Structures are given as structure tokens and as C-alpha cells.
A and B are shown apart, each in its own frame.
Chain A
Amino acid sequence: MDKEALLTAVQEKLKAQFGEGIISSELLYDYPVFTIKSDLICDVVRFLYNDDELAFQYLTTLAGIHYPDNKGQELGIMYQLHNLPKNLRIRIKIAVSINHPVVPTITPVFSAANWMERQEFDFFGIIFNGHPNLKRILNMDEMTYHPMRKEYPLEDGTREDKDDKMFGR
């Protein structure tokens, strides 16, 4: 199945099942990407897991993204699913508001999501509703902020010995 065929096949199945929950779909490089409503993510992942034809039963990875200018949808998460027997890969994206960053967990479907979601909670402060053990994983528990958000500088902002105006972001 080539990428366009996969894109339309998944799109049709999701549209039939979830209707308006599917916001958009496009082909980015070699990945079909679907944007869906954030509260549907667990249902969509479970539906794709159980579907006989698509059977996305391998969670490749998931990652949080922060778009500070995207008001109302500042935090995003992307999930990459893989169908190993047929070698089909898709990416699903959701977006939530930074003021209420709550999304359903997908740990009931994939055990692997446990630490991945803990990592994104640690980095971005996204709260995965229903996660069995949602606490920081890489940073220390006493940390009061979520360091991967764009407003946190890489280094201590009071440093004066280093001028990054011309270089770096």
C-alpha cells in the first residue's frame, strides 16, 4: 500500500467511525499525518489497534510539542503508530490548551506509553488522564516547572559572559 492509499484508507475509516473528530489529514514527507480532537485519542488509537485491516499494534514513539503562539492550542502531542506485518506507518497529532493540558492516556492500549507519557508530562506538563503512575521521570521531583516549554531558557538567563545574540536561536 503506498502512502496516498494509506492516507485515504485510514481517513475513510476514521471519518466513518469518529466523524467530526477528525480535523485534518495530510502527507508530510513519507508519513500520513492525522490531526484529531484531543479527547478522542485513546478511542482512535484503540480503534486502529483493533481494526482487522489496519491493525496499528506497535507504538513507535510519542512526543510533545509547544507552540506558544498557537493560542488555545499551545501544547501538541504526536503519536507514531506502526503496523509491523504490513509495514504501514502513520502519525496522529492532537493539540490542547496550555491552561488545561489534559488528554486521555493510551496506556490501556500500549504498555510502552507509560514512560513515554511520563516523559512528556515531565517536559511539557501535559497531564495524561488515567495514567497509572504520572510523575516526573527524568527530572527531579522537586522541580517546579516543565523545562521543554519554550519560555524556559536553555541556560541561566542572568549569565553575562555569553552573548548569543548573533548565534543560536
Chain B
Amino acid sequence: MSSKNKIEKLKTDNSSPSIIEGCEKPDEFSTLNLGPTHPATHGIFQNVLKMDGEIVMDSESTIGYIHRAFEKIAEHRPYYQFTPITDRLNYCSSPINNMGWHMAVEKLVGIEIPKRVQYLRVIIMELARISDHIICNSVIGVDTGAMTGFLYIFQMRERIYEIYEELCGARLTTNIGRIGGLERDFTPKAWSLIDKFLVDFPPALKEFENLLMRNRIFMDRTIGCGPISAERALNYSFSGPNLRAAGVDYDVRVMNPYCSYEEFDFIIPVGLNGDTYDRFMVREGEMWESVKIIQQAIEKVKKEPAGVFHADVPEFYLPPKEEVYNNMEALIYHFKIVMGETAIPKGEVYQAVEGGNGELGYYIISDGGRAPYRVHIRRPCFIYYQAYAEMIKGGMLSDAILTMSSMNVIAGELDA
């Protein structure tokens, strides 16, 4: 039987037994362990592949190697203490995770955030989106054998991390912002770093695109690699760039706007075939849109009253330290917040943000206690990674590697 016929048969026959338990004709297929620690998987997850030569006939994913029980931890921590843990979800764009958590809690408590803070948050989130897409797209380049773009564009990621550093002091796991606003205002140095970044980034991105976008080798390598149709993608609850690459224009920022995203003028890039090239192109398009959004946000911030960086919610927002030492009321609030004595309303909320790789949702149930009763995190990676087996079936092993890197699967988010 030729391998083509085998693939056809395989695609219609879904009753094959678990490959971990062994296949029927061991002389015909070989089993290959891809992972758990394989440099090409860019994270710790295992795939057991059933191979016919170089063709993937079937696969089974094993995940959970870095499971840290975030949802259980959340039930034992006050709301503000859970923020650093959200950093560890999709650590390529931690600020978006932080903001999503703050917004979920603010929605639960009913805090109105001033416009200026919302725009500042938009700037932070779009920077995070750019850094996330830089990593994913340059790694697609690496997996196709193009190291240059990766090393080159990583300078720009470094620049974004310098901006984070100026905003909050941290680089990768940022813990940026607080419930009710930001922990401090943007410093003049932060503004100048952002302005400089906006000047330097577009030409750098353009050059990166020149290296790959119309590159014959890159296009031959990625077009038609690991495709998924819009119907299957929706059935698998894809979200983010992976869903948009399949041609569905679902973007949380547009459909259910948060942080005043409805005031911004940007387009949602969509693909057609849902293959690796489309996913790459959608991310490229989104980076350009993010630059546009940041520019608009900077203009909007200028029109707002200066110096506002948090809402007036003393019960949830820690007062500045010098006031705590000199002001009775501030000391009381400080004590109440730190000891977890603030009244949290009962209720349940779901707040979704458009993360670097899809709809990141926080579902909180509060019973009025100092810690949430239940927190569930909708992790986009976890949900769309289960389609991986279907997407690589019948393709080459090297395409499987490329499909994985183009799906932007982040182990921290996958395993939570």
C-alpha cells in the first residue's frame, strides 16, 4: 500500500487503538517519542507519534509536565496575591495576563477605571502582544532554518522588556498593574522609551518581513503546512491568531471590548487556509495593528488629565507608603487590604481578554471571603492544542514541528 493510500485510509478511519498501548502492525509503523524535553518543541510536552517512515500516521499528546495547580492556589490567596501567578501562564505576554486578572476582579467588585488608566493599560497590553508575536514568528523562522530573523528581531523584544523594566521593575514575569489601576504612573523615561520604540520598531519589523514574508524557501516550507479549516477550528474552540488564520474574524477586543478598545481604529487581520503561513501572516499583521493602537493610545492619554494612574478605590488600592506612615486613614486601609479584610461582594464573573494567543478568560466565583471560592482560567493554548493531533495527521515529521511552533503553544499556559 502506498503511503498516500495509507493516509487516505487513516483520515477516514478514526478507530485506531491508542498508540501508547501499541499498534496492530508493529512491523509497519514505528513509534517516536517527541518530547518531553526536545529542543524543537519549545517547551515541556510529549507527543508520541506513530510514524510510517517520515509520515505521521497518528499521535497522542501528553501534557501536564509543569502543572502547578494555579486554580487550587487561587482558592487560597487573596485576590491581589494571585496576580504574580498569572504571570506564569503565558509568560511571553505576562502583562496581558495581569491586566485580565485585574479587570476580572474589578468587574466583580464594580470598580470604574479612569479613561487615562485604560489607555495606559492598552499601551502595555499592545506592547506585550508585540513581544509575544515576535517570539512566535521568529521561532517559526528558526524552525524553518532561518536563524537571522530570530536574532535580529529579538533586539526589539529586548527593547519592550526595557520598557516593562521602567514601568514595573520586572522583565519577564512582570506583575504589572494593581487592582484598580497601575502601581505607578509612566515615568518620562518610560514615555521616551516607548516613543523611541515606536520609531525603531516599524523599520525593524519591515526588515524582518523582508527576510521571510516573500521568501521562496520560507513560503514553500510553510504554505499548506498543518492546515485547519474554519469549521474544525471553531469546533475545537480555537481563538486568537490561530482562529483568525483560518478565516474567522473573532477578536475579543472588537467583539466584547474592554479597556475602551472600542474607541480605537484598527483592523483584524484574517487568513484563508489556516496553515502555518497564514498564522505567521496574521501575527505579522497584528503587530502592525498593535503599533497603530499604541500610537492612538498615546494621543488619547495626552488629552486626559495628567497624573491619574489609578481609580479612587481606597479599599482595594494600596495607599503610597509615605501616607501609610503619616496618615491614619491610609494606615487603616493598608492594614485592611494586606490582611484581606476588605468586603468582596458575592457573585460570579467571567472576563475575557485577547491574550497573545487567544481568548484568555478568568472565571471567578466569590462567596464573599478574602480569597475566591473558585477560579477557572480559560487558557487558549490548552484548548487549541488538542487539535494538534488532527492537524499533523498525514503530514511529515518536520511539518509537525513547524505546526507546533506556529500554534504558539506555551507550556506554562498549557499546564497552568
Q: Verify B63–A138 contact, CB threshold 8 A.
A: yes
Q: Which of A126-140 contact B (CB under 8 A)?
A: 133, 136-140
Q: Verify A147–B348 contact, CB threshold 8 A.
A: no
Q: Which of B379-398 contact A (CB under 8 A)?
A: 382-383, 385-387
Neighbouring B residues of A166 by C-beta, 8 Å: 339
> Is A11 an interface residue when CB atoms closer than 8 A count as contact?
no
Query: Which of A112, A123, A137 is within 8 Å of B383, CB to CB?
Result: A112
Query: Closest approach, in angstroms, between the C-beta of B140 and any C-beta of chain A?
Result: 24
A166 to B235, CA, bound (A): 46
Q: Verify B378–A111 contact, CB threshold 8 A.
A: no
Given A61-B363, A84-B248, A138-B64, A169:B236 Cβ within 8 A:
no
Closest B residue, CB atoms, query A152: B72
Q: Which of B95-119 contact A (CB under 8 A)?
A: 107-108
Neighbouring A residues of B108 by C-beta, 8 Å: 29
Q: Verify B234–A63 contact, CB threshold 8 A.
A: no
Which of B73-81, B147-155, B181-189, B400-408 is the interface stretch? B73-81
Query: Closest approach, in angstroms, between the C-beta of A77 and any C-beta of chain B?
Result: 11
Query: Closest approach, in angstroms, between the C-beta of A91 and any C-beta of chain B?
Result: 7
Neighbouring A residues of B340 by C-beta, 8 Å: 167
Q: Verify B67–A29 contact, CB threshold 8 A.
A: no
Which of A1-9, A17-25, A40-48, A52-60 is the interface stretch? A52-60
Q: Verify A87–B255 contact, CB threshold 8 A.
A: yes
Neighbouring B residues of A115 by C-beta, 8 Å: 382-383, 385-386
Q: Verify B71–A148 contact, CB threshold 8 A.
A: yes
Q: Verify B77–A168 contact, CB threshold 8 A.
A: yes
Q: Verify B361–A168 contact, CB threshold 8 A.
A: no
> Is B7 an interface residue when CB atoms closer than 8 A count as contact?
no
Closest A residue, CB atoms, query B363: A63
A58 to B252, CA, bound (A): 14
Neighbouring A residues of B378 by C-beta, 8 Å: 60-61
A136 to B415, CA, bound (A): 13
Q: Verify A169–B76 contact, CB threshold 8 A.
A: yes
> Is B374 an interface residue when CB atoms closer than 8 A count as contact?
yes
A23 to B235, CA, bound (A): 28
Q: Which of B43-98 contact A (CB under 8 A)?
A: 63-64, 67, 69, 71-73, 75-78
Given A29-B107, A154-B72, A112:B348 Cβ within 8 A:
no
Neighbouring B residues of A133 by C-beta, 8 Å: 18
Neighbouring B residues of A123 by C-beta, 8 Å: 71
Neighbouring A residues of B255 by C-beta, 8 Å: 84, 87
Q: Verify A110–B235 contact, CB threshold 8 A.
A: yes
Q: Verify B347–A28 contact, CB threshold 8 A.
A: yes
Q: Verify A169–B371 contact, CB threshold 8 A.
A: yes
Interface extent on A, as a size class?
35 or more
Closest B residue, CB atoms, query A135: B18
A84 to B244, CA, bound (A): 13
A29 to B64, CA, bound (A): 33
> Is A116 an interface residue when CB atoms closer than 8 A count as contact?
yes
Q: Verify A111–B365 contact, CB threshold 8 A.
A: no
Q: Verify A84–B250 contact, CB threshold 8 A.
A: yes
A137 to B371, CA, bound (A): 26
> Is B327 an interface residue when CB atoms closer than 8 A count as contact?
no
A60 to B386, CA, bound (A): 15
Query: Which of A60, A152, A168, A169 is within 8 Å of B237, CB to CB?
Result: A60
Closest B residue, CB atoms, query A109: B235
A147 to B73, CA, bound (A): 11
Q: Verify B415–A138 contact, CB threshold 8 A.
A: yes
A57 to B248, CA, bound (A): 13
Query: Closest approach, in angstroms, between the C-beta of B242 and any C-beta of chain A?
Result: 13
Q: Verify B76–A147 contact, CB threshold 8 A.
A: no
Closest A residue, CB atoms, query B254: A87
A123 to B377, CA, bound (A): 13
Given A84-B248, A154-B73, A168:B371 Cβ within 8 A:
yes
A80 to B207, CA, bound (A): 42
> Is A14 an interface residue when CB atoms closer than 8 A count as contact?
no
What 1/0 mask marks residues of chain B from 341 to 374 whose CB sits below 8 Å from any chain A CB?
0000001111010000001010101000111001
Q: Verify A112–B236 contact, CB threshold 8 A.
A: yes
> Is B376 an interface residue when CB atoms closer than 8 A count as contact?
yes
A11 to B73, CA, bound (A): 36
Neighbouring A residues of B64 by C-beta, 8 Å: 136-140
A29 to B104, CA, bound (A): 11
A115 to B378, CA, bound (A): 12
Neighbouring B residues of A116 by C-beta, 8 Å: 383
Residues of chain B at the chain A interface (Cβ within 8 Å): 18, 63-64, 67, 69, 71-73, 75-78, 107-108, 232, 234-237, 248, 250, 255-256, 339-340, 347-350, 352, 359, 361, 363, 365, 369-371, 374, 376, 378, 382-383, 385-387, 415-416
CB<8 Å pairs between A and B, sample of 19: A29-B107, A31-B350, A60-B237, A60-B350, A61-B376, A63-B363, A65-B365, A84-B255, A87-B255, A87-B256, A114-B386, A123-B71, A137-B63, A148-B72, A154-B73, A166-B339, A168-B76, A169-B369, A169-B371
Given known contacts A60-B359, A114-B386, A169-B76, what 6 new A-B pairs fall within 8 Å (CB)?
A29-B348, A61-B237, A61-B361, A154-B72, A168-B78, A168-B370
